[in-house]
Amino acid sequence: MGSAAGETGYRRGAVRTVLLSSLLALAALGLVPAGAGAAENPWLNKRVLNIAHQGGEDEFPSNTLYAFRRSVRAGADMLELDVGVTRDNKVVVMHDTTVNRVTNGRGTVASHTLKQLRKLDAAYWFAPGRSDPYRHGLKARAYRLRGVATGKRKAPKGFKRSDFRVATLREVLRAFPHTPINIEVKGRTKQEETAEYVRNAEALAKVLKGTRRRDLIVTSFRQQAIDRFHALVPAIALAPGIDGATAWFSGGSPGAGVVAFQLPITYQLGTQTLAITTAENVARAHREGYAWHTWLSDDGESVATWRTLIDECVDGVMTARPVAFERLLRKHSAPPACG
């Protein structure tokens, strides 16, 4: 799922502060009475899923077909991506509100047509091997994939120029017909108003209406977007928004269609660091038939963090480093108690 920030400060999203406070306080206090449970869940009883967050944005250019192809070849079990809607109502794959951070363009996703987005280089600011691979202002040689999308540089062997452009969701679905995909609905205005989340959920529903795929999970920070999507395409699985997760932490249901929780490890509330992904919370989710996927955008990643999550029996890790995470998974499996 990842940070709710839609602008360049994608590691931290101030928009979540009010929305998350009640949820995380409940989790930290351990107010988790038994809920109603979920039906038989195909997202349980698997190995810990290597979920390539944005296709693995620390190792590959965020949300590009190139990133998705590379991460799957490296062993990723599932792709995580973000969708927004263009000016001409096309559902495209982009994390931020604007194209500024990752492309050679400027302005919001919603202010561009698909044709305009197609002309952009989605790997323009990607500098592999750096702690912040989208740091602007480096020497040109740092951006080793810059220019592939526009034909100024030859594509790596086995890839095409189009793999480095802004992709539509339909393209990703066609390219990965047998790879599970997690789809997060974003809002695209600076204020990220609920109404826009809902409109984008409706646009996503049009793309997925009638699909026979059952290896998709749709999520959003705004519960209203998830509820609207579910009303239109009830067959596709969900992860709850803030309201649904809050309801579950207080003893209720996270909502219809929910198969997994997708939450951070911790949340900073004032001077308090609240623990969200804990062995106890994961165990409760499992008892009630829900999977648990942890995103790391705010907590940072390390081998030690990954090992802890695996030992806590999480069902999936949304990692920005799927190649490195896969190496760990081959050496460090979940303990027998997680079975």
Q: What is the pLDDT of residues 282-300, one digit of tens each?
A: 999 999 999 999 999 888 8
- Which range is least confidently modeled, 54-58, 84-88, 128-132, 182-186? 128-132
**How much is the pLDDT for 45?**
76
Q: What are the Cα distances from residue 56, in Å, to 74, 199, 214, 254?
A: 11, 27, 23, 28
Alpha helices in the chain (DSSP H): 16-29, 65-74, 114-118, 169-175, 194-208, 223-232, 242-249, 279-287, 303-311, 322-329
**How much is the pLDDT for 244?**
96
Please give the domain boundaries of the chain with CATH numbers for all domains: 16-98+168-334 (3.20.20.190)
Q: Residue 37: pLDDT above 70?
A: no
d(CA 294, CA 306): 10
**How much is the pLDDT for 192?**
63
181-225, pLDDT tens digit by residue? 999 999 866 556 889 999 999 999 999 999 999 999 999 999 999
E strand residue ranges, 54-177: 78-85, 91-93
Q: Residue 61: pLDDT above 50?
A: yes
- What average pLDDT does the structure give for the chain? 89
